Chain A
Amino acid sequence: MKQIRSTAVPIRDENIDTDQIIPARFLKATSRDGFGKNLFRDWRYENDNEATPRKDFPLNNPKWKGDILVAGKNFGCGSSREHAAWAIRDHGFEVVVSSFFADIFRNNALNNFLLPVQVSEDFLQHLFDTLDADPATQIDVDLEQQTIRILPTGEQEHFDINPYKKTCMINGYDDIDFLISILPDIEAFEKKKS
């Protein structure tokens, strides 16, 4: 992934915890696939029933769609379940924007090539207002340049990402491949330690 240009879905709630993103009762699967349909399950449906979607929930509102999820601060707090990142990715999002991410969620997202973009609180609020006013607003996320831009107005902000993680994201490298490649170092370390 280098660059994403898309409309976005805004969820203004703060402190969205992983129990909301994917409730515990859906963690019984043993593969990584198929979690997307239960993303935000209890906010999406009345009485856990797919026949009764909650109209006021942004994912159910056809005016908002796209590959970018924009959410309130402290996104992904709570449990370490990577299923949260899988569900967001499986639903089709490639980027999550917030003013603050919980640590474990950020790692899980990066390990699944879901890009967490942390912006200032002001920029986030402006983004929410812009998407409210015009749901068709295109957002441009440029990983190479580390910028997020509201296309029609050109307003943009820089975001941080660890340079190592950036290389992994752009090239599709996996942490585990890296660790396996240094197994001799790890074994040497074990010898020295004991």
Chain B
Amino acid sequence: MAKTLFEKIWDRHIVKTIEDGPSVLYIDRHFIHEVTSPQAFNGLRKRGMKVLRPAQVVATADHNVPTIQQHLPIREELSRKQVEMLVQNCSDFGIELYGLGHPYQGIVHVIGPELGVTLPGMTIVCGDSHTSTHGAFGTIAFGIGTSEVEMALATQCVLQSKPKLMRINIDGQLQKGVLSKDIILHVISLLSASGATGYFVEYAGEAIRNLSMEGRMTICNMSIEMGARGGLIAPDETTFAYVKNRTFTPKGTDWENALADWHTLYTDADAVFDKELHIDAAEIEPMVTYGTNPGMGTGISQHIPSLASIPLNEQANFNKSLQYMGLRDGQPIKGQPVDFVFIGSCTNSRIEDLRLVADFVKGKKKADHVEVWIVPGSKQVEQAAMDEGIDKILMDAGFMLRQPGCSACLGMNEDKIPAGKYCISTSNRNFEGRQGPNARTLLASPLTAALAAITGKVNDIREYI
């Protein structure tokens, strides 16, 4: 029978299926971080249980960590306690921790792929919704709650109902200056913040095939922002070339065997999806969000929708959102001044993102009134940026290169955007208060964000390259 990529991986990992209920899904890799794990470890202790397969669990500290002076003790007491508790838990339960000060430390969804811990065909979970990022390698990867973290630690399994399957094809080629971030913001604006709820999404088509692994990760990362459980992309030569020779990837004959297996991971020609969409890549513009969910985005040349164009029963929410953002319906988004620029998060903080930004800003200076934070996704990204001289280019432009962590993506550490200020951000969520109480977030690609840093406003990158 013809199978989709998702079904091939799913079927290999089912331990058993409960009648009229979910399936027991075996988990190959489990990532943990300091925020969603403490209660799970406490649960294990209460039950007197150990971690079943500690070697399949990898931990890092990312959400809470400061992004300057990481060598000093964390100043904020509660954050420090949480990070210390992770250290304690990992040591008590025999889990490898890439904590502060470790050369592998970084945002959990950045380090998994770059270390070769994430490999095609795997099932991957983490107590974090953007676990969907790892789907770029052809994995079933999704976020779970803390109770499920406890289950996965104790039994290396979680209970899951098989989701519905959707395929989104991005056909043809992208315009110059349009990045994978624009593709996904475009898709979410078409489907809405809940349009893919209940689905796992496979991304396909020429424009997806042409993306680098970094670009594919950005797409899969934001699948959750339209409600999907996760997203995935069939592995191909681009994937294998990225994975080869990373720290933890198989070597020698193990590599040959793995590769042979990974070549079977694709959706069969006559497999059927519950839903299928085709989007013309050439129609996608650089995108910016204007509202308080990632579905409220628009092409850079467009205007914010007029109130009259919004369905009656959604107008109250639309108004509330624009009021929070301090924007008017019907106004152009181009020309909107910004106060802060944040280039970071598990969506866009990889070395390729920093290279793109550096290439563009080389020899330019940031606008005087704008503050620019560049937060690399990991120690390895930070190191590469220094090796390649990217740090120097960014500093010359007046940008601040900070140390790795989630940072202003969710403002759990000190990196918060002040109330009422506009921040153009390469992260994934523009929710009210996400970057700090009453902060106003405009989501965009790293290039659009870099351009805003230079011009002080939202502008169309196509006019500058």
Is chain B found bound to chain A in the same assembly? yes
Cβ of A29: which chain B residues have Cβ within 8 Å of it? 78
Q: Is the CB of A28 within 8 A of B82?
A: yes
Residue in chain B with minimal CB distance to A165: B21
Q: Which of B128, B161, B314 contacts A80 (CB 8 A)?
A: B128
Task: Decide if B451 is an interface residue (CB 8 Å cutoff).
Answer: no
Give the segment of B140-148, B268-276, B388-396 that binds chain A. B140-148
For residue A132, CB closer than 8 A to chain B, the reply is no
B267 lies within 8 A of chain A by Cβ:
no
Q: Which residue of B lies closest to A72 (CB)?
A: B317
Q: Contact at B144–A30, with CB atoms within 8 Å?
A: no
In angstroms, Cα B24 to Cα A80, docked, is 20
Minimum CB–CB distance for A154 against chain B, Å: 26
Contact partner, B157, options A14, A74, A112, A179, Cβ 8 Å: A179
Say whether A14 contacts B26, CB under 8 Å: no
**B24 surroundings in chain A (CB, below 8 A):** 179, 182, 185-186
A contact residues, range: 35 or more
Which of A27, A30, A83 interacts with B42 by CB under 8 Å?
A30
B35 close to A179 (CB less than 8 A): no
A45-66 CB mask vs B (1 if < 8 Å, else 0) is: 0001000000000000000000
Q: Which of B211-219, B350-358, B426-434 contacts A (4 or more CB under 8 A)?
A: B426-434
Residue of A20, A77, A186, A189 most packed against chain B (CB within 10 A)? A77
Stretch at the interface among B177-185, B193-201, B245-253, B332-340: B193-201
The chain B residue with its CB closest to the CB of A174 is: B147
User: In the complex, are the beta carbons of B147 and A176 less than 8 A apart?
Assistant: yes
Q: Which residue of B is nearest A189, CB measured?
A: B15
Q: Quick one: which of A25, A175, A183 contacts B147, CB cutoff 8 A?
A: A175
The stretch that binds B, out of A1-9, A89-97, A100-108, A137-145, is A100-108
Are B143 and A104 in contact, with the CB atoms below 8 A?
yes
Cβ contact within 8 Å between A176 and B432: no
Residues 150-164 of A at the B interface (beta carbon under 8 Å): 162-164
Closest to B41 in A: A30
A-side contacts of B36, CB under 8 Å: 80-82
Once the chains are docked, how many angstroms separate the CA of A100 from the CA of B227?
Answer: 11
CB distance B21 to A15 under 8 Å?
no
Chain A residues within 8 Å of B, Cβ to Cβ: 12-15, 17, 19-20, 23-25, 27-32, 42, 48, 72-74, 77-83, 85, 100-104, 107-108, 111-112, 125, 162-165, 175-176, 178-180, 182-183, 185-186, 189-190, 193
With contacts A32-B146, A104-B129 known, what are 18 further pairs, Cβ within 8 A? A15-B193, A19-B432, A27-B35, A28-B81, A28-B412, A31-B39, A72-B317, A80-B143, A82-B36, A82-B127, A82-B145, A85-B145, A104-B143, A176-B47, A176-B155, A185-B24, A186-B52, A189-B15
